[in-house]
Chain A
Amino acid sequence: MTQIFGEPVQRREDARLTTGRGRYLDDLGRTALAAAFVRSPHAHARVRDIDVSAALDVEGLVGIYTYDDLDGPLAEPLPLLIPHPALTAGRTAYALADGIVRHVGEPIAMVVATDRYVAEDIAGLIDVSYEPLPPVVGLPAARDGNLLVHADLPDNVAAHLVQETGDVDAEMTRAPRTVRFTQTIERSASMPLEGRGVYARWDAQDDSLRVYSSTQTSTSVRAAIAAKLDLPPGKVEVIAPDVGGGFGVKIVHPWPEELLVPWAARLLDREVKWVEDRREHFISSAHERGQIQDITAGYDDDGRLLALDVRIWHDHGAYTPYGIIVPIITSTQLLGPYKPRAYRCAVDSLYTNTVIVTPYRGAGRPQGCFAMERTMDRIADELGLDRTLVRERNLIQPDEFPYDPGLTFQDGRPLIYDSGDYPELLRMIRELVGWDDFETIREQSAAEGRTVGIGMACYVEGTGVGPYEGGHVQVENSGRVLVSTGLTSQGQGHETVFAQIVAQELGVPLDDVAVTTGDTRRFGYAVGTFASRAAVMSGNAVALAARNVRAKALRIAADALECSADDLDIIDGIVQVKGDPSSAMALSTVAVLSNPLRYAFDSAARAATQFAPRNDPDRAPVDEDDEPGLENRDYYSPIRSTFAAGMHAAVVEIDCDTCEVRILRYAVVHDCGNLINPMIVEGQIHGGVAQGVGGALYEVMHYDEHGQLLNASFMDFLMPYATEIPHIETAHLQTPSPLNPLGIKGAGEAGVIPGSACIASAIEDALGVRISAMPISPSDLFELLATDPERTRRGSR
């Protein structure tokens, strides 16, 4: 059998996506009415009046809707999707603002018109009068509590979350040495190339709704629409077409637009579509990352971390529709591959008058990694030890798995590392980047008048969180294999990797397998694509379904070939007796036989009819415990998450005049268990590293004191181009997960997590200044060089 699992098979979706044949949201519904939104220009205001009179004469107006038009569940606040005991003051917005707006961009009115130009003109003619209220912008203002985001919350605190293991106070007191420092982490955002979008078609005859949404979860969007529009879920279909990037922001649902567009389609009995523009994405979707961290670490003279006490203030924006997943992940994934005796992380999740904060690739982990890895660098610095040595002394050892740090993960289950080999990863990254030879390079560079530094950072990432995913595998009479799973794709290559898994399990050529994702018409039960879970969850689900199909195929073929199923194998789509290829039948024939027929519609079907030679008069055509068809549906539901790990190292050069940072080398070692497709894993790492570089050096959400986002466009929001992304050197370690049949772990977010910590470490190494903020711009660095009192040495480590 040809090996397909584990091979660097080319992505099958790329030919379509790179030649303009993708079907993205805006490619659909060309004749639909267009929606546009009137959004708040104020960060905090009371809406006094909405006057539409100037808009009434615009040809092409169909409707204008405000909160007053909403009824039933749609008039209630949007759902708080992920409740948590620590989230004692969760607040969500209304689909359209009910009297008060709490961030710039909050929707107030929806316009529906014959096309988007007209809709935007009408939106511009709607006159909203506001009574501005003082906004809360930035964590210090939120923490002060002098001004309030929600009038009924006197301290702006949405949640107070504490994760604790061991006796932190006692260990800290006993520790021979302590270090304490504060760090700030800026906001960034997912910034998919394609923003959000919704296109809805109402069928008045059938009382049913079909919705296309650029989402990371079609099944859950369906559930939300059904609940909010009072429709039976069976009357709602949701399809995620090709999605031009998600990176987390599209797991949030239902977005106001995801409810309002279908609602208007039903109300008007017309197709309605809305596609987000870039400014809307900046001010009306979601951001991430913003935190202040106060870190105290107790350690011994060898650099062993004894106690770690972290206080975090997390900027949650104006509402908490996605719960406190981001700070939960920060606080539980912060420890990475290390094992301090005691750890405590206390998080205050604070409201501000800014865009909501929900997971963006990495989802709280880059902040946790920044805290932990900068702590390791501090300890090394204080003791004058090599940074890799300090890390090595704190690593969880291979014989300690499964390792339980004593924390509760984002799925409410114990966080237990299932497998890994962190010392080997450390050895590999040192080798890959040439850590031990770097002093020579530093000296050579210095001789040329160049300033270089090296840094590193490690992470452990909980991936493949439950509760479940399912897969359906069907062999058609043609021999073609249809695979479907409910979770969605945003460019990860699911059409390729799920096909690889099924082709391998079933024994068919890869080209015979076609994969559908994110279409509730094909698969109704699913959770969604997030937390690096698609390969783990749906990969294992389609594998299980394929194994069941294989078993059934062998049973039917054994009957037909009058042999034992144990003697059969499936090779390239042919079921054959092992060692005797002459006794064989095509899987397509087995598919025909699997469905007993009365009517022969073609020559192949004749073999399955009631007068076919193999028809046994003493057996029911379909056995009691069987069903017609060569297909199966199965689910994978893990006990716990599986934990991938990796380490990054970077070499940077600083221009000491301009303080520009150039990344000379970037190395990644990575362990996501068994690799389904190394090329796709590398692609995931490359994309993640690019976003990590963005977070380390460029990306800032520049809010002014009034809560106006000053850089809400691609003109002003700095993202790295290809020119800023170095060649990325990678090496893989494969420690299979014991938790799932395929032994795999997630890889989607790995590339981004340690980026800021790694680059900060390298800059610090090059210049000897303390880096305690991310991102770090040339201006910031210039300022630091001029003022840092701790700047003592260069290249001493």
Chain B
Amino acid sequence: MKLSGTAQLSSPPARVWDALNDPAVLARTIPGCQRLEETGPDAYTMTVTAGVASIKGTYLGQVRLADKNEPSSYVLHASGSGGPGTVSAECLVRLNADGDGTALTYDADAVIGGVIAGVGQRVLAGVAKKMAGQFFAAVDAELRGLATVSEPARPDQSVADLQRTEVHPGLADRSWGDRNIHVDVRPFLVGGVAGAAIALLGVVVGSRLGRGR
């Protein structure tokens, strides 16, 4: 599965670069990151709780940064496995100065397997993109000295989102519809994966959810 995306960060490339290479920052910003350990230069292992749709689980992953070209690009190699499946991904991350901030782009190629691979390409891509977006937003917030977007904040927001979707016929006017209001969206926020250490992380993560056995 090929996946690419962009993120806009308000800090310049050098600062973003540092953040993306700081295990402490990563541990705070990777969605769903339970544990992140540096195992060697530019190599990490991590535990991430993530899920795609109804297939959720805890993943163990390895992440390695390569081809580093500070502060403008690197390649992230990630692999992970967990209950629902396995993922291996390669992701090229580029940081470009954009005014005072950074325009980050990523291009990932992930191989996903296992049960998670069965959820459909659009679901996998959607979740991966979403997690990548959350990850970069968290990194950005961290750099701006704001509180990292915390997990509890999201469910509220998503309640609002769901309520907004009342325009969808059938959601609002069915008696059972309100159960959707209480959706626990944390697993999705989480997601971060494996490693992904960095930005890609999100990306990878999403994908990895699915790598097969």
B116: shortest Cβ distance to chain A, in Å?
Answer: 10
Which chain B residues border A66 with CB–CB below 8 Å? 120-122
Please determine whether B180 and A59 come into contact, CB atoms closer than 8 angstroms: yes
Please determine whether B188 and A60 come into contact, CB atoms closer than 8 angstroms: no
Judge if A117 is at the interface, Cβ distance under 8 Å. Answer: yes
Please determine whether A69 and B158 come into contact, CB atoms closer than 8 angstroms: no
B213: shortest Cβ distance to chain A, in Å?
Answer: 11
A677: shortest Cβ distance to chain B, in Å?
Answer: 47
Contact with A along B177-192 (1 / 0, CB 8 A): 1011001110010000
Judge if A140 is at the interface, Cβ distance under 8 Å. Answer: no
Considering the complex, give the chain B residue whose CB is closest to the CB of A115: B176
CA distance A600 to B180 in the complex (A): 62
Which chain B residues border A563 with CB–CB below 8 Å? none
CA distance A702 to B118 in the complex (A): 39
Interface residues of B in 106-133 (CB under 8 A from A): 115, 117-123, 126-127, 129-130
CA distance A506 to B156 in the complex (A): 73
Interface residues of A in 257-290 (CB under 8 A from B): 264, 267-269
Partner of A114, one of B54, B168, B188: B54
B164: shortest Cβ distance to chain A, in Å?
Answer: 10
B212: shortest Cβ distance to chain A, in Å?
Answer: 11
Which chain B residues border A53 with CB–CB below 8 Å? 126, 129-130
CA distance A54 to B123 in the complex (A): 10
Judge if B165 is at the interface, Cβ distance under 8 Å. Answer: yes
Contact with B along A101-131 (1 / 0, CB 8 A): 0000000010001100100110011000000
B6: shortest Cβ distance to chain A, in Å?
Answer: 16
Which chain B residues border A117 with CB–CB below 8 Å? 174, 176
Which chain A residues border B158 with CB–CB below 8 Å? 57
CA distance A114 to B183 in the complex (A): 14
**Given contacts A57-B188, A117-B176, is CB(A52)–CB(B118) below 8 Å?**
no
B86: shortest Cβ distance to chain A, in Å?
Answer: 15
B32: shortest Cβ distance to chain A, in Å?
Answer: 15
CA distance A83 to B133 in the complex (A): 51
Which chain A residues border B184 with CB–CB below 8 Å? 59
Partner of B118, one of A114, A125, A267: A267
Partner of B119, one of A54, A63, A109: A63
Considering the complex, give the chain A residue whose CB is closest to the CB of B164: A54
B57: shortest Cβ distance to chain A, in Å?
Answer: 14
Partner of A63, one of B118, B129, B165, B183: B118
A109: shortest Cβ distance to chain B, in Å?
Answer: 8
Judge if B66 is at the interface, Cβ distance under 8 Å. Answer: no
Judge if A626 is at the interface, Cβ distance under 8 Å. Answer: no
Please determine whether B171 and A269 come into contact, CB atoms closer than 8 angstroms: no
Which chain A residues border B188 with CB–CB below 8 Å? 56-57
Which chain A residues border B22 with CB–CB below 8 Å? none
B119: shortest Cβ distance to chain A, in Å?
Answer: 4
Judge if B3 is at the interface, Cβ distance under 8 Å. Answer: no
Please determine whether A264 and B118 come into contact, CB atoms closer than 8 angstroms: yes
Which chain A residues border B183 with CB–CB below 8 Å? 57-59
Please determine whether A61 and B53 come into contact, CB atoms closer than 8 angstroms: yes
A508: shortest Cβ distance to chain B, in Å?
Answer: 50
Judge if B141 is at the interface, Cβ distance under 8 Å. Answer: no
Which chain B residues border A441 with CB–CB below 8 Å? none
CA distance A616 to B185 in the complex (A): 78
A180: shortest Cβ distance to chain B, in Å?
Answer: 51
**Given contacts A57-B185, A121-B171, A124-B168, is CB(A64)–CB(B130) below 8 Å?**
no
**Given contacts A63-B120, A121-B168, is CB(A56)–CB(B53) below 8 Å?**
yes
Please determine whether B123 and A63 come into contact, CB atoms closer than 8 angstroms: yes
CA distance A674 to B82 in the complex (A): 67
**Given contacts A57-B183, A117-B176, A121-B171, is CB(A50)–CB(B53) below 8 Å?**
no
B99: shortest Cβ distance to chain A, in Å?
Answer: 28
Please determine whether A124 and B169 come into contact, CB atoms closer than 8 angstroms: yes
Judge if B41 is at the interface, Cβ distance under 8 Å. Answer: no
Which chain A residues border B121 with CB–CB below 8 Å? 66, 68-69
Please determine whether A50 and B122 come into contact, CB atoms closer than 8 angstroms: yes
Please determine whether A65 and B120 come into contact, CB atoms closer than 8 angstroms: yes
Interface extent on B, as a size class? 20 to 34
Partner of A69, one of B120, B130, B162: B120
Considering the complex, give the chain A residue whose CB is closest to the CB of B158: A57
Judge if A679 is at the interface, Cβ distance under 8 Å. Answer: no
Q: Is the interface of A mostly helix, strand, loop or mixed?
A: mixed
Considering the complex, give the chain B residue whose CB is closest to the CB of A265: B118
**Given contacts A62-B54, A120-B170, A121-B171, is CB(A57)–CB(B162) below 8 Å?**
yes
Most buried by A among B53, B168, B171, B183: B53
Which chain B residues border A50 with CB–CB below 8 Å? 122
**Given contacts A69-B121, A264-B118, is CB(A63)–CB(B53) below 8 Å?**
yes
Contact with B along A16-60 (1 / 0, CB 8 A): 000000000000000000000000000000000010111111111
CA distance A64 to B118 in the complex (A): 9
Please determine whether A57 and B161 come into contact, CB atoms closer than 8 angstroms: yes
Considering the complex, give the chain B residue whose CB is closest to the CB of A268: B118
Most buried by B among A56, A65, A125, A264: A56
Which chain B residues border A269 with CB–CB below 8 Å? 115, 118
Considering the complex, give the chain A residue whose CB is closest to the CB of B189: A57
B51: shortest Cβ distance to chain A, in Å?
Answer: 10
Judge if B55 is at the interface, Cβ distance under 8 Å. Answer: yes
Partner of A54, one of B165, B169, B185: B165
CA distance A268 to B212 in the complex (A): 12
A90: shortest Cβ distance to chain B, in Å?
Answer: 30
CA distance A121 to B166 in the complex (A): 11
A296: shortest Cβ distance to chain B, in Å?
Answer: 52
B202: shortest Cβ distance to chain A, in Å?
Answer: 14
Which chain A residues border B179 with CB–CB below 8 Å? 59
Please determine whether A124 and B123 come into contact, CB atoms closer than 8 angstroms: no
Contact with A along B147-162 (1 / 0, CB 8 A): 0000000000010011
Please determine whether A62 and B53 come into contact, CB atoms closer than 8 angstroms: yes
B165: shortest Cβ distance to chain A, in Å?
Answer: 7
Which chain B residues border A113 with CB–CB below 8 Å? 54
Partner of B170, one of A65, A124, A268: A124
B151: shortest Cβ distance to chain A, in Å?
Answer: 14
**Given contacts A120-B170, A124-B170, is CB(A56)–CB(B120) below 8 Å?**
no
CA distance A50 to B122 in the complex (A): 8
CA distance A375 to B116 in the complex (A): 64
CA distance A635 to B81 in the complex (A): 54
Q: Can you report 27 residue pairs joining A to B where beta carbons are below 8 Å apart?
A: A52-B123, A56-B53, A56-B127, A56-B130, A56-B188, A57-B161, A57-B183, A58-B183, A59-B184, A61-B53, A63-B120, A66-B120, A66-B121, A68-B121, A68-B122, A69-B121, A117-B176, A121-B177, A121-B180, A124-B170, A125-B165, A125-B168, A267-B117, A267-B118, A268-B115, A268-B119, A269-B115
The 7 A-B residue pairs with the shortest CB-CB distance, nearest first, are A61-B53, A267-B118, A63-B119, A59-B183, A65-B120, A64-B120, A52-B122
List chain A positions with a Cβ less than 8 A from chain B: 50, 52-66, 68-69, 109, 113-114, 117, 120-121, 124-125, 264, 267-269
List chain B positions with a Cβ less than 8 A from chain A: 53-55, 115, 117-123, 126-127, 129-130, 158, 161-162, 165, 168-171, 174, 176-177, 179-180, 183-185, 188
Q: Please give 4 more A-B residue pairs, beta carbons under 8 A apart, in addition to A57-B158, A65-B120, A66-B122.
A: A56-B127, A57-B183, A63-B119, A267-B117
